[in-house]
Structure 1
Amino acid sequence: MTHRLLMICALRSKRPVFPGDNGPDEGLSQSVRPSPPVLSADRIWCGPDAITRRSAAALGLDAKVRAELSEIDFGSWRGRTLDDVAGADPGGFQSWTTDPSQAAHGGESIEALLTRAKRWLAECERLPGRTIAVAPASVLKACMLHVFDAPARSFFCIDVEPLSSVVLSSDGRRWALRVTSEPRSEMSEVGRRQSKLRA
């Protein structure tokens, strides 16, 4: 069974802090204006946090919330800056940046996030047609690591820009990252929509 998954990275908070759901009034890294839908799929999902839901709405997507697409749980570090955490808990911060199994903040480890992403992709693999998913950068990174069968420590080697997108394709046996040049593909439509959102 073939499945095509378009993943779009959600916007971020203006404040450079460990992310968390600080409510619908949290400032976004870029201005957004709601637009009519330009994308279609058999199912459209998004993460439950306010910024991700607002990102999906700004893209004109009527998305259903899925808990599997949640931002990584940073526990007691939510809303705090890197410098603040590194200064207050240098040992915990160091362990988090070097050992994917550690969760010094009391929330979710990177390995736990990767397991969550793997399970969600396994579910998608059993579905026909196309899926669009708007999710935080951490979730996109976790899905890409699974596709490449890369070690968990590679999480810190990937940067995902807000509103960037990636297409993952499955034939029912394995996932592959798909690079497309189709002029009328959903990637082209997303690109046009993203350009308007960044304006």
Structure 2
Amino acid sequence: LVGLAEYFGSIPMPHYTMCHEFLIPLDIRHDYGFSMEHLNSMTMSMDTSAAVTGFDPNARIGSIVHHMGHAWIPLRSYGEGYRPFEWETAPLIETIWLNEGFTWYVSYYHVLNDKSILDYFNSVVDSAPDYINRKSLRELSLLGSTQYGADFRIGRNLFSRGALLAYELDLFITEKSNGQKSFKDVMNGFLDWTEENGRAFRYEEIPDIMSAAAGVDISDIWEKWQRP
């Protein structure tokens, strides 16, 4: 949480709660591993083989940091479809790649300083099946709205593509601004935009929000990543 606060320059919640449960599977059809972010908390369900039994300074905490990061994006700045929450059916969300990929990038590459995570993102994208490769970010996100975890190749490609887009934006913005700005300004730009406008941003507004926050025109990179 300290690392995320240092990256964003703020802590948007008065407190933060983590609830981890370690379960004994009833049978082989039961498996665990997915977590869920909330406005000021996160939950994680794992089987007992992953139970925490003592202090480990080298513990793999990427998933925890990632879900904490969602307290900024998308819980406090989000695209259409994310809110209001629909109980009756899974909402169709066009920006899962942004919600997940941008937060994966910030959490692993910057907060945890794991530069090797780029190799993982690239390997996921390079090995994607044709039915995923044929889809744009927007199309894949709509598919992931109902099948993100059912076929996790969809989920992995959504956050990997989004993270690689974030990385390219980071390099471009840093270079064009002579180091005065970076992807951090894009993330905070989304938060500032939502606070000012009080609504979800539309898909077509995303490149303008990012360009305004970065102080450079990122439209060429945006158009490149919108193609399958």
TM-score band w.r.t. shorter chain: under 0.3
Structure number with the higher strand fraction is: 1
Structure whose alpha-carbon radius of gyration is higher = 2
Structure number with the higher helix fraction is: 2
Q: What TM-score, normalized by structure 2, do the two folds share?
A: 0.24
Q: What TM-score, normalized by structure 1, do the two folds share?
A: 0.26
| Higher relative contact order, structure no. (Cα contacts within 8 Å, ≥ 6 residues apart) | 1
